[in-house]
């Protein structure tokens, strides 16, 4: 594209480039706006193949199929790029012309296409067969070795989904369920919706949970909450009776040194503050007060 833009005057080239960049920026979120930017670029530089391709793709995504077809034909003529055949076939199908979509499979350049484009063309052709009521033929078309190929290619989930969908339409529900699961297994982003289709065939429903509706009480029910009980238990004396065995005589006779001796192991200090701490730690029946609950 840069090489093509160099053929234009600098100011015009910059303007065309700005519209092409804007078109690419809005392509996913707003195809119509992307298409309008591409059309403006075409008005300024209609003789550039890259500009015509941008118009063709954005028109296709914005569902302007008639114009997309016209532009795709121009792209093939101007650039010799035949990778657009799959999108052209899909446009024919969208316009209600499945026969013309099937004819593109027999194009003399079809065998020279990249593997992703060949797979996409196959999927579109199978859809055209289904449009003609030839479901069995569609299933047969999709029974290709690539179905079981081990690859992370983006076309694999789509191919498996198309095959499963054709099986479902043919009434082969059990086989369709298997292939929907296989499609979901390689569709990490959930683009095809294969998992939902499998659940639908199994009579299940997906429910979206709103995390904001879950409060702390729902996430950690009081009767199931363990908190840091194990940590507290390690800090507390193991023998409750020994902790509670400080009699009045010891309290009366204990000096500063005696208080220090007890303070390390039993958590008991001196004076009123120590008694308050002990009361906070020991309940009325001489047991440890529960920690980490209801605080």
Query: For 224-277, what is each residue's pLDDT tens digit?
Result: 444 444 444 444 444 444 444 444 444 444 444 444 444 444 443 444 444 444
* 77 is a domain residue: yes
| Residue 277 within a domain | yes
| pLDDT of 57 | 97
Q: The CATH number of the domain where 17 resides is what?
A: 1.25.40
**Domain final residue, candidates 57, 81, 105:** 81
> Does residue 65 lie within any of the structural domains?
yes
What does each C-alpha distance from 233 to 20, 203, 288 come to in angstroms? Answer: 67, 49, 10
pLDDT of amino acid 235 = 47
Q: Cα(first)–Cα(last) distance of the chain, in Å?
A: 66
DSSP code for 282: B
Question: Confidence band (pLDDT; 50, 70, 90) for 203?
Answer: confident
Instruction: Give the end of a domain, one of 34, 53, 81.
Output: 81
| Nearest-angstrom CA–CA distance, 289 and 243 | 13
Domain that holds residue 44: 1-81
- Domain C-terminal end among 24, 52, 81: 81
pLDDT tens figures, 134-172: 999 999 999 999 999 999 999 999 999 999 999 999 999
Is the pTM higher than 0.85? The answer reads: no
pLDDT category of residue 7 using cuts at 50, 70 and 90: confident
Q: Is the pLDDT of residue 35 over 70?
A: yes
Count of the separate structural domains present in the chain:
2
Give the mean model confidence (pLDDT) for residues 83-101.
96
Is 109 within a domain?
no
């Amino acid at each position: 594209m840069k090489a093509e833009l160099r053929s234009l005057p600098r100011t015009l080239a910059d303007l065309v480039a700005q519209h092409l960049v804007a078109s690419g920026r809005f392509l996913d979120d707003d195809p119509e706006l992307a298409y309008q930017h591409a059309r403006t670029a075409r008005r300024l530089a209609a003789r550039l193949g890259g500009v015509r391709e941008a118009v063709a793709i954005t028109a296709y995504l914005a569902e302007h199929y008639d114009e997309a077809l016209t532009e795709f034909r121009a792209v093939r003529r101007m650039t010799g790029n035949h990778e657009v055949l799959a999108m052209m076939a899909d446009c024919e199908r969208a316009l209600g012309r499945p026969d013309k979509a099937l004819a593109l499979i027999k194009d003399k350049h079809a065998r020279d296409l990249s593997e992703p484009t060949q797979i996409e063309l196959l999927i579109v052709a199978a859809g055209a067969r289904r449009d003609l009521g030839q479901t069995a033929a569609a299933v047969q078309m999709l029974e290709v070795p690539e179905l079981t190929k081990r690859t992370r290619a983006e076309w694999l989930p789509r191919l498996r989904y198309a095959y499963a969908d054709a099986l479902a339409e043919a009434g082969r529900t059990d086989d369709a369920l298997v292939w929907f699961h296989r499609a979901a297994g390689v569709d990490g982003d959930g683009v095809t919706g294969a998992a939902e289709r499998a659940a639908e065939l199994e009579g299940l429903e997906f429910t979206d949970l709103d995390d904001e509706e879950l409060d702390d009480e729902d996430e950690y029910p009081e009767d199931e909450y363990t908190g840091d009980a194990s940590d507290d238990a390690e800090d507390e004396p193991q023998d409750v009776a020994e902790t509670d065995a400080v009699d009045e005589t010891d309290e009366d006779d204990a000096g500063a040194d005696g208080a220090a001796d007890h303070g390390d192991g039993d958590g008991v200090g001196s004076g009123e503050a120590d008694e308050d701490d002990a009361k906070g730690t020991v309940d009325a029946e001489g047991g440890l007060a529960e920690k980490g609950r209801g605080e």
